[in-house]
Structure 1
Amino acid sequence: MASIRKRGKTWYVRFSKRETQWDPEKQKNVSILKQKSKGGFKTKSEAQQYGIKMEAASIDGVDVVKNPVFADYFEHWYLTFKFPIIRKSTQKRYITNYHYLEKYFGSTKIKDISRAKYQSFLNWLGKNHAPATVRKTNIMVKACAGNAIEDGLIVKNFTNRTTITGNQDNVRAIEYLNEGEMNKLVQLCLTNLTPRYTSKYLVLAGLFTGARLGELTALKWTDIDFKNKIIDINKTWNPNLKILGPTKTESSVRKIKVNSFLLDKLKQLKINNSEFIFAIPRTGLPPSSSAVNQFLRKAIKEIGLNKPDFHFHSLRHTHVSYLISQGIDIAAISKRLGHANIAITLSIYAHLLDEYKDQQDAKIINSLNQVCATFVQHREKFYDIAKH
């Protein structure tokens, strides 16, 4: 219920509501009075409109009294609902986004965030960050706003129908190996290959499948069809919690056709006697991502390359680069990667397609020349027949 009073020259609104809550100490339901007040209205009409708005929101299930600082709510949300189940790298991303929100919105309350204000935030963030960074931030904030709706703090998701912006100058170039460099890395992994150290096997698997590290480390022997040469990607390994979880997206569940070369190497790991293909004999569990990337960075240096940003996911990019260079259809590549649609693949690897554009243009011209040559030959034969 909203009460309106005049205080000096302005009007004052107080909204009061009693709620019944369970008191764990008293072990019974208790009645709690919640109140929220706001003053400074120039006219009684303005105060009444504000009071009516609060009452309507309360009827819709919104907790009109509770209105936390937006950045603080975001932090509480991800610490409670996300941190227990996500990787450290993802945890860092949430923390970074919290600092973005804290810097831009300051002490702004969550009920005061409108679509326009949030769009201004995205525009601000996009001035100095790549579109991919802004997109990932928006995904997290959108989920948080959805949680706020469930908590009865807001009625609508203010992230809906907003536009992702970004600075193309800050787009980070994808690191990958060309065919020659890829061959060198394969040779290095094959040198002194021993089942005791599974990181080399993981690198080979990454190069030949394009699968993500979590997808590969989750593989069990039951996930490989050696007869039909197929690897079944259907789960991921969480190295922090040391548990199996779902794939990144529904489309990530897929079957990857592989060659005999890779399967013959993987068979060597059966000697480790573990259900996980890439398990370390000492622990019976897959190696950590830091251990695999440490080996990979060392290997990259050993083959004479200066690629400080190269990491396991770069093997996925290398796989794609090689397939594109071999003229493999982009739709087939997209399915192999587990992307939901071809547009995602094109958005990530557009620059690779541009790099091979000249090569593809040469093939097109060569094909057209063959058509022309065939036409000329037929025309000459026709003339010869006509003369006789």
Structure 2
Amino acid sequence: MEIYKRYQKKEPKKFSWTYRIRYYDENGKKKPISKSGFKTSKEARIAGGIIELKYNQSGISEKENITFHDYAQSWIDTYKKDHISEHSYYIYSLIPTEIKNCFHETKLKDITKADYQNMITAYGKNHVRESVSKMNSRIKAIVQEAVDERIVYTNFTHNISIASKVASKDAGLKYIDEIEAKKLKTLCLQSLDMNSIGNYEIVFGLLTGCRIGEVSGLTWNNVHFKNKTVSIVNGYDYNGNNGFKDTKTESSNRTIRISDELLSILKKLKKQQRELFLKQGYRDIDNLVFRNGNHQIISDNAVNKSLTTKLRDKVKSKNIITFHGLRHTHASILISHGVDIAYVSQRLGHKNVAITLNIYSHLLQKAKSQQEEKAMEILQSELN
């Protein structure tokens, strides 16, 4: 091991101490490892000694000098790319960019806990606490793998302070009330045609609680007019144009009952679609329900934009929701009218009732209060 002074180019009189170690890789090729920035030769020698000990005990990884953001990208490509949904992979793909914006070309092994805390603190200035926590959890898994590979010795993401200067959205903002839902449905029903397929989707989402991917992936084969049901068996990659994909979870595959009103709306759409496609000489081999007059499945962004415009300009709602908010609206209406939570859970395609209870706990608390009042009225009148 070599220990020497390294002078700064811009300020020749200033220097720091550096260690350099030469080792042989798996192919017998001699390679150097060095690190500078130590205030004293003793500090450099101790740090270099740790690396030498590591080399003697378990060898040195080829990734020893990998940057933080390159390691994160490599981990995501290896463990996530072909194992999670397109949307989830997109979320993970943002992580290396966040890391590079903060650490640039800093090597993973050179990141300290204080450095990482500064990154998370900066991230919290523009994101809600939940997002900050999720970001930390994902990066924690990445760094843990680096610990397992012996690139770093400890996981510097442990016991990090999670904070945010952005207020979390109130649960009430995620859905609209029943009066607003009626106004929205009426507004969409006024313009149901192939050029405004989003109106069909909004009504369908409102009356079924389906996710946007489930709506986009619905085929006419899975609309059962006689039984008054629809079967949810596919999602759809409307962003990557890769066609069908699996539903979010295994429990998302379900068959749900639909109202006579929605059956009539779907019959109207099928008639419009059949007549237009016949005129155009077009045949949809996928037999998709919500393919528009241009033979496209519109994106979630397009639907959300239309939904926002309607809620803001026509319904005059203070609660501007996304398509997923229609799912919460559907559930809230059923819960508020006393529909059994187990049925609501199955209808939404949740894995178990506990998930539903957790998501809609605030609504259930309100329903509980109403049920308590009803129970007291019964006990008061029937036992007197």
Q: Normalising by structure 1, what TM-score?
A: 0.72
Residue 34 of structure 1 and its aligned partner are, at CA, apart by: 3.5
1:305 aligns with one of 307, 316, 319: 316
Q: Distance in 2 between matches of 1:199 and 1:241?
A: 19
Residue 368 (structure 1) aligned with residue 376 (structure 2)? yes
Structure 2: tracts of 5 or more residues without a match: 6-15, 275-283
| Distance change (3 Å), C-alpha of 1:114 and 1:252 | farther
Residue 349 of structure 1 and its aligned partner are, at CA, apart by: 3.6
Residue 336 (structure 1) aligned with residue 347 (structure 2)? yes
Q: Is the 8 A contact 1:115 1:162 kept in 2?
A: no
Cα-to-partner distance string for 1:215-267 (whole Å, 9 max, x where unaligned): 11011122233343333223321123212222333443333332232123213
Residue 341 of structure 1 and its aligned partner are, at CA, apart by: 4.4
Q: Secondary structure of the residue that 2:230 maps to in structure 1?
A: strand
Report the counterpart of residue 247 of structure 1 in structure 2: 247
Report the counterpart of residue 8 of structure 2 in structure 1: none
| Distance change (3 Å), C-alpha of 1:5 and 1:187 | closer
- The CA RMSD over aligned residues, in Å, is 4.1
Q: Is the 8 A contact 2:126 2:165 kept in 1?
A: no
After superposition, residues 53-92 of structure 1 pair within 5 angstroms as: 53-58=54-59, 62-63=61-62, 65-68=64-67, 70-74=68-72, 86=86, 91=90
Q: Secondary structure of the residue that 1:193 maps to in structure 2?
A: coil
Report the counterpart of residue 299 of structure 2 in structure 1: 288
Residue 214 of structure 1 and its aligned partner are, at CA, apart by: 1.4
Q: Secondary structure of the residue that 1:303 maps to in structure 2?
A: helix
AA matched with 1:14: I
AA matched with 1:246: D
Q: Distance in 1 between matches of 2:270 and 2:125?
A: 51
Q: Distance in 2 between matches of 1:154 and 1:49?
A: 11
Q: Is the 8 A contact 2:191 2:199 kept in 1?
A: no
Q: Is the 8 A contact 1:247 1:253 kept in 2?
A: yes
| Distance change (3 Å), C-alpha of 1:289 and 1:99 | same
Report the counterpart of residue 128 of structure 2 in structure 1: 130
Q: Is the 8 A contact 1:67 1:110 kept in 2?
A: yes
Q: Distance in 2 between matches of 1:312 and 1:18?
A: 54
Greater displacement, 336-345 / 259-268: 336-345
Q: Secondary structure of the residue that 1:36 maps to in structure 2?
A: strand
After superposition, residues 8-27 of structure 1 pair within 5 angstroms as: 12-20=19-27
| Distance change (3 Å), C-alpha of 1:289 and 1:54 | same
Q: Secondary structure of the residue that 2:174 maps to in structure 1?
A: coil
Q: Is the 8 A contact 2:174 2:319 kept in 1?
A: no
Greater displacement, 206-215 / 162-171: 162-171
Report the counterpart of residue 34 of structure 1 in structure 2: 31
AA matched with 1:50: I
Q: Is the 8 A contact 1:206 1:213 kept in 2?
A: yes
After superposition, residues 304-323 of structure 1 pair within 5 angstroms as: 304-307=315-318, 309-323=320-334
Residue 171 (structure 1) aligned with residue 168 (structure 2)? yes
Q: Is the 8 A contact 2:81 2:89 kept in 1?
A: no
Q: Distance in 1 between matches of 2:166 and 2:35?
A: 45
Report the counterpart of residue 383 of structure 1 in structure 2: none
AA matched with 1:171: S
AA matched with 1:110: L
Report the counterpart of residue 277 of structure 1 in structure 2: 289
Q: Distance in 1 between matches of 2:58 and 2:250?
A: 36
Q: Distance in 2 between matches of 1:172 and 1:65?
A: 42
Q: Distance in 2 between matches of 1:210 and 1:276?
A: 19
Q: What is the count of residue pairs matched by the alignment?
A: 353
Identity %: 32
Residue 267 (structure 1) aligned with residue 267 (structure 2)? yes
| Distance change (3 Å), C-alpha of 1:138 and 1:375 | same
Q: Which has the larger radius of gyration?
A: 1
AA matched with 1:281: G
Q: Is the 8 A contact 1:125 1:166 kept in 2?
A: no
Q: Distance in 1 between matches of 2:332 and 2:318?
A: 16
Greater displacement, 314-323 / 150-159: 150-159
Q: Is the 8 A contact 1:175 1:310 kept in 2?
A: yes
Residue 217 (structure 1) aligned with residue 216 (structure 2)? yes
